[in-house]
Structure 1
């Protein structure tokens, strides 16, 4: 195990800057997820650490060892790819054992390590099969087993579940989490799937356009997004985002959404003397159909008409609008028969962002 340090990392392909600025430290034994949309630089950053891409500038350390000029095979890292990358002519046993053979281990030691990994990943009955005889989930477990037996300093996962169906992704997430719990190996996991990030990570690094948009625990990035991008990228359904501005009514400040006035919460009082355009954010789950669903009295009633309904299973998504701006509410499916309703906004759960910088304005 080892900590991983990225120091002022940049990566360009010709005139295109893919990773523009990346400074971050992964602690020893930590599970960190790099999360972001396609093209944000997350996989490129991982590949630079693995030695599969050259670094344009900056330094990468694993423990106290500078990695920049070290060949990929000598970095003592194990990578699990999206495409599995198994040898089709080898059995499961041979695929897992291959790296150990290259190390020159004895047949007895190889057998011990392969069977230990196979037991942990429930692959023992499959050891004599070829990859073509396995399901997608089984192939991914073989790829994980091949990485495990190397006992690397760091595990690297590059979107390993993207090729699996939803049910398999769920079970594989559990297996990866349990694997990390048992091995406690430093792990960096790349994905564009926020569910994977929220369920697996100790900390999440959210990237956008080659920069770090926010770093935090799953709870922190969900409840206290640093900017509008993070607020809308994390959470499904996405956070409602409406144009708004501040008004002063006899010394009291309000957020105005069209003709609706919402008292300015205490944590935004520093805005009171500023005249800035705002984005008003609230998650669909923080809007309620009954005031008593909020465990305090800091609620604001808003009358709306339900324009459309989308059944999500255990819940329903109500599509409404405020002064022409769309507003979505997620509530229990039992309340499907509502039409014209009064909504209750939880003031403790609203977010405000500067319309120019898009950064959070919470103190």
Structure 2
């Protein structure tokens, strides 16, 4: 196990800057997820660590060792790819054992390590099969087993579950998390899937356009997004984002949303400035059909007409609008039996972002 340090990393392909600035330390034994949309630089950063891409500038350390010029095969890292990358002519046993054979390990020791990994990953009945005889999930477990037996300093995962169906992804997420609990190996996992990030990570690094948008625990990035991008990227369905204005009236501050004047929550008042253009963010689950579980001084009631409904099973998404802007509400399906509703906005759960910088106004 080892910590990983990225120091002022940059990566360019010709005139295109893919990773513009990346400074981050992964602690020894930590499970960190690099999360972001396509093209944000997350896989490129992982590939620079693995030695599969050169570094334009900056330094990467594994433990106390600078690895910029160390060959990929000598970095003591194990990578699991989206494409599995198994040898089709080899059995499961041979695929897992291959890296150990290259190291010159004794056959008896190889057999011990392969069978130990196969037992942990429930691959024992499949050791004599070829990859073409396996399901997608089984192939991914073989790829994980091949990485495990190398006992690397760091595990690297590059969108390993993207080719699997939704149910199998859930199973594999739990297996990867259990694997980390048992091995306690430093792990860096790249994905564009926020569910994978939220369920697996000790900390999440959210990237946008080659920069780090926010670093935090899953709870931090969900409950305290640092900017508008993170607020809308994390959470499904996405956070509602409404154009508004901060105004003062009768010696009090309000959020003006069309004709609606919403009392400014106390936690924002120290940062308030008159006539500030902002975005009001509220998650669909923080708008309620009734207010009995919320202090009435901390809710804002308003009436809407429902334009569309999307049934999700136990819950339902209501598509409506406020002040001419789209608004999504998620609530229990059994509660909705009319097209006109009175809704209650939970003021304790709203987020405010500066309209120009898009940064959060919360302290």
Which residue does 1:26 correspond to in 2? 26
Correspondence list, 1:223-238, <5 A: 223-238=223-238
Correspondence list, 1:1-363, <5 A: 1-294=1-294, 297-363=297-363
Q: Secondary structure at the match of 1:150?
A: coil
CA contact (8 A) 2:3 2:62 kept: yes
Which shifted more, 265-274 or 163-172?
Answer: 265-274
Deviation, 1:336, is: 2.9
Per-residue CA distance 1:98-117 (angstroms, 9 max, x = gap): 00000100000000000000
Q: Distance in 1 between matches of 2:53 and 2:75?
A: 13
Per-residue CA distance 1:172-215 (angstroms, 9 max, x = gap): 00000000000000000000000000000000000000000000
Deviation, 1:297, is: 4.2
Deviation, 1:39, is: 0.1
Q: Distance in 2 between matches of 1:43 and 1:142?
A: 22
Deviation, 1:296, is: 6.8
Q: Secondary structure at the match of 1:221?
A: helix
Per-residue CA distance 1:11-59 (angstroms, 9 max, x = gap): 0000000000000000000000000000000000000000000000000
Q: Distance in 2 between matches of 1:212 and 1:180?
A: 25
Deviation, 1:295, is: 6.1
Q: Secondary structure at the match of 1:20?
A: strand
Deviation, 1:283, is: 0.1
CA contact (8 A) 2:92 2:127 kept: yes
Q: Secondary structure at the match of 1:273?
A: coil
Q: Distance in 2 between matches of 1:13 and 1:315?
A: 46
Q: Distance in 1 between matches of 2:270 and 2:362?
A: 9
Q: Secondary structure at the match of 1:128?
A: coil
Query: Which runs of 4 or more aligned residues in structure 1 lie more than 6 Å from their structure 2 counterparts after TM superposition?
Result: none
**TM-score when normalising by structure 2:** 0.99
Q: Distance in 2 between matches of 1:248 and 1:93?
A: 71
Q: Distance in 2 between matches of 1:94 and 1:295?
A: 63
Q: Distance in 1 between matches of 2:129 and 2:206?
A: 39
Which shifted more, 333-342 or 258-267?
Answer: 333-342
Q: Distance in 2 between matches of 1:114 and 1:336?
A: 55
Q: Secondary structure at the match of 1:292?
A: coil
| Structure 1 gap ranges (5+) | none
Deviation, 1:285, is: 0.4
Q: Secondary structure at the match of 1:205?
A: strand
Q: Distance in 1 between matches of 2:51 and 2:82?
A: 17
Q: Secondary structure at the match of 1:113?
A: helix
Give the aligned CA root-mean-square deviation in angstroms. 0.9
Q: Distance in 2 between matches of 1:294 and 1:73?
A: 58
Q: Distance in 1 between matches of 2:181 and 2:228?
A: 33
**TM-score when normalising by structure 1:** 0.99
